Amino acid sequence: MNILLLSSLASAALAAGQTHKTDCQHLTAPNVPGATVLSINGTERWNYTVPALRPFLLSPVSGLNFCDVTVLLTHAGAKDQVTVKVWLPLQDWNGRFQANGGSAYAAGEFDLTLGPTVKAGYSSSSTDAGVGFNPETPSPWALKADGSVDFDALINFSYRSIHDMAVVGKELTAQFYGTKPKYSYWNGCSTGGRQGMVAAQRYPDLFDGISVGAPAINWAKYVLAEQWPQVIMQQEQTFPSSCELKFFSDTAIAECDGLDGVKDRIINDPEKCHYTPYQSVGQEVDCDGKKVTITKSAATVVANALQGPVDTSGRPLWYGLNAGAPLDSLVNTTAAVNGTLAGYPFFVNDEWIKYFVVRNPDYNTLEINATTFVDLFWKSYIDYDSTIGTDEADLSSFHQHGGKLLMWQGLSDQLIFPGGTVDYRTRVERLMGGRHKTNDFFRLFFAPGVDHCGFGSTIGAIPDDPFGALVNWVEHGKAPDSIPATVNDEAKAKRIVCAYPQRAEYIGGDVNSAASFRCA
């Protein structure tokens, strides 16, 4: 952009009336308890565009005018350098602050979340937790030179960075505009959802409202449980193709789709679906013109993915997937050079086992058998639950501070098992005085047929704006009993998703209209 255009944009902003008090270049280092600020740099950006990057940001965000602040900080004895980015709208700040979470092994997504948040008028922050931005692997930071786990880096990733980014973001917001944000929010899904639960559990006074999607709580258990289908594939020496896996999911949907009175390729209540993969044994499937017969071993693999891992006595260790959920992430295979299929573990569980549980980057997770799996499962829990578990059910401090928590998840989530989310909610109710009292500050919504964080190609009722429902709850006291949703198909049918334990019930009329459903 040329200097004349920049000048005209700045002049237009001044004519419209700036809403900030301090120049972007003259912000001072914030006070961050437990950390030392190494540097702070601010730059005005005009007519800035954040390009799309699927699946995180589906469309570019353009026309952004903001103060771009980068803060570097460190923690005593940690030998770390953490980056916190804060974007402050130069115009039309809405008086609110919103912190954003990350995904997989990335604590933050920077521009990908900051752009849409600033576009909506919020001041916003994101962090790399000192571990960089690589969602796919913790290899650059997990282990020290001597092969031991870098617990300072893991603590940053697990919880400390959530506190730091919120403190930095809110203080710089107050400096820039001359007033504190009237409301502060957290928004994130998956790892971002886990981070939101960190705030509710460890730092209950940071946010007025916390929106969490598909929260990766119970990390030390559920991530190991993701490896279970690969263990069974090795045990059975059976590696179903993606075509076969889709057949199992499609068959479950076909059998249970109409249980709610609506044929829409969505299983509204998986608990009522009694499909078993073994009933499909012997059936022929057309896979790219080749006839494939479903074997008992293939059914065993899928049945174990739906059941979840068990110990050597057959006792459940964790939850499994819901019938009809996609299977291609956890029951994943890859073709060898000779064309035969082999197991291909999902990267999150594969990397966690290598770097944190076994502490050997060269470890082959495909060699894990049922007995080894149980040992690794409990080692992961014992060594790391207190650091990254994020499943503390006592939310009394968050409730006492007046915080509101809105959680949602797809019932066809193939990465984070919905049963674990139900387990958490149940434990919170037990500690917080029952369902009615818990609903005063914590509401959970399950979206039928929806995959992880609304990604993927499943046909499900994706909530339209759970974060907006949270804001309305915090600022206007309107606790949501349901959230509008849109079915991910060509018709874009309108639905509602209901506060747990209720489900959307069809009451007659146009199946494409939300008015034809009620919570029951």
Distance in angstroms (rounded) separating the CA atoms of residues 282 and 298: 11
Distance in angstroms (rounded) separating the CA atoms of residues 508 and 410: 24
CB 366 within 8 A of CB 230: yes
In sequence order, the β-bridge partners of residue 342 are 334
Q: Is 368 exposed, middle or buried (0-12, 13-18, 19+ CB in 10 A)?
A: buried
Record the tokens describing residue 247, joined without a space. Answer: 């057949």
CB 341 within 8 A of CB 239: yes
Selected catalytic residue, list 80, 150, 350, 413: 413
| DSSP labels, 73-124 | EE-TTT---EEEEEEEESS---SEEEEE--BTTBS--THHHHHHHHHTT-EE
Record the tokens describing residue 472, joined without a space. Answer: 């309305």
Cis amide prior to 418 (ω within 30 degrees): no
Selected catalytic residue, list 103, 123, 124, 190: 190
Selected catalytic residue, list 123, 452, 482, 516: 452
Distance in angstroms (rounded) separating the CA atoms of residues 273 and 232: 23
- If DSSP codes are grouped into helix, strand and coil, which group holds residue 463? strand
224, containing H or E segment? helix 219-225
Residue 431 vs residues 25, 218, 434: alpha-carbon distances, Å:
48, 18, 7
Is 464 among the catalytic positions?
Answer: no
Radius of gyration of the chain (CA): 24
Residue in this structure with the two tokens 């092969």, named with its chain if needed: 147
Q: Measuring CA to CA, which residue among 277, 272, 229 is closest to residue 251?
A: 277
Record the tokens describing residue 393, joined without a space. Answer: 């059910």
Give the pairing type, strands 284-287 and 209-213. unpaired
Is 103 among the catalytic positions?
Answer: no
Is 397 among the catalytic positions?
Answer: no
Distance in angstroms (rounded) separating the CA atoms of residues 219 and 197: 12
DSSP state letter for 310 = B
CB 122 within 8 A of CB 94: yes
Record the tokens describing residue 4, joined without a space. Answer: 């004349």
Catalytic residue numbers read 190, 413, 452
